Amino acid sequence: MARVKTAGERATLQGRIIASYGRRHRVELPDGTRLDCMVRGRRRDLVCGDRVSLVPDGSGRGVIEDVAPRATLLYRSDSHREKLIAANVTQIVIVVAPLPPFNEDLVNRCLVAAEHGGMKAVIVLNKSDLPESAGARDALVPYEKLGYRVVAISAKRDVGPLRDCLAGVVSVLVGQSGMGKSTIVNHLVPDAAARTAEISAALGSGRHTTTHAQLYRINPETEIIDSPGMQIFGLHHLSIDEAAHAFVEFRDDLGRCRFRDCRHLDEPGCGIAAACEAGAIAPDRLAFYRKLARELTRATR
């Protein structure tokens, strides 16, 4: 275990947050030891997946002193606050299902967040054994045409098709409540429920499987973070230019507008609008972008 000597007799240890509950965090050290930690000062912006420096107190607890720079950060925001979801993840796995019906607006927002944050995105259609899954599958075809991988599974029967997508990376599962994220985790990680109970008992937090993100290791090279179900995904931290660039099908045409400050709403000579008329951009995606751009404009004002 790597140790960095401090000015006193204590040593600073390096670890990673595997679960967070407000200012209390479960931190795993490189040798597998887990410590229940508080944060020095009033800082509350740490999140599952963060790599941290901490000072142990010798009784299974510690104090987090610092957090390392993040390679990636998935978060959502509205006009009032930001909600951090997970740090240092490679891939976002967007879980949808035919029942309850999934929200395409949320899917689009998650894709924008993934593109802006430099993370890959995979869409998983769970409950694919249901009769209603045919319509849901058809609704996902446009995303496949954009280059996003779509995987159909029935988590209660077989999560095998998903394993190849997860292998060798750190993924975070996101989606609406009721899509089956916890079922997927329980089949990928057989002792997931036991681990959750252990952490909840250690932190005195009760049941938090649906209110806080938690990291699970499938094998030494593969990890997943299960995040709370969500109904909305605010993107108020993006500028309009950043939002437009997060639409992969826009990128070839972003420099073809008559005006350099074109927002691709209703300006004349818009290259994005022309591409849509030519069939290169789906009308539904352009409509969603415009909805988002107007939302960001109101937020800026």
Domain ranges of the chain: 3-67, 73-226, 240-300
Residue 203's pLDDT is 55
289 in Cβ contact with 244 (< 8 Å): yes
Unique residue bearing structure tokens 């609704």: 139
Residue 195's pLDDT is 54
Residue 226's pLDDT is 94
Residue 288's pLDDT is 98
Tokens of 235: 């993107």
Residue 1's pLDDT is 42
| CATH superfamily assigned to domain 3-67 | Nucleic acid-binding proteins (2.40.50.140)
Angle of helix 181-188 relative to helix 192-203, nearest 10 degrees?
110
Residue 22's pLDDT is 76
Residue 207's pLDDT is 43
Q: Residue 81: CB partners within 8 Å, gap ≥ 6?
A: none
- Burial tier of 287 (Cβ tally within 10 Å: 0-12, 13-18, 19+): exposed
Q: Please give the Cα distance from 120 to 92 (Å, whole number).
A: 6
Q: Please give the Cα distance from 20 to 78 (Å, whole number).
A: 21
| Domain 240-300 in the same topology as domain 3-67 | no
- The pTM of this model reads 0.89
Instruction: For domain 240-300, give the CATH number.
Output: 1.10.40.50
Q: Please give the Cα distance from 219 to 33 (Å, whole number).
A: 17
Residue 143's pLDDT is 98
In the chain, the amino acid numbered 29 is: L
Q: Please give the Cα distance from 233 to 88 (Å, whole number).
A: 19
Residue 198's pLDDT is 57
Residue 194's pLDDT is 46
Q: Please give the Cα distance from 204 to 237 (Å, whole number).
A: 33
Q: Please give the Cα distance from 220 to 203 (Å, whole number).
A: 25
Residue-wise pLDDT tens digits, 158-195? 999 999 999 999 999 999 989 999 899 999 998 776 45
CATH number belonging to the domain at 73-226, selected among 3.40.50.300, 3.50.7.10, 3.40.50.1860, 2.60.120.650: 3.40.50.300
Residue-wise pLDDT tens digits, 256-272? 999 999 999 999 999 99
Distances from the Cα of 291 to the Cα of 243, 295, 298, 301, angstroms: 11, 6, 11, 16
DSSP letter for each residue of 123-135: EEE--TTSTTHHH
DSSP letter for each residue of 35-83: EEEEESTT-----TT-EEEEEE-SSSEEEEEEEPPPS-EEEEE-SS-EE
Residue 58's pLDDT is 82
Q: Which residues of the chain have pLDDT under 70?
A: 1-10, 193-211, 301
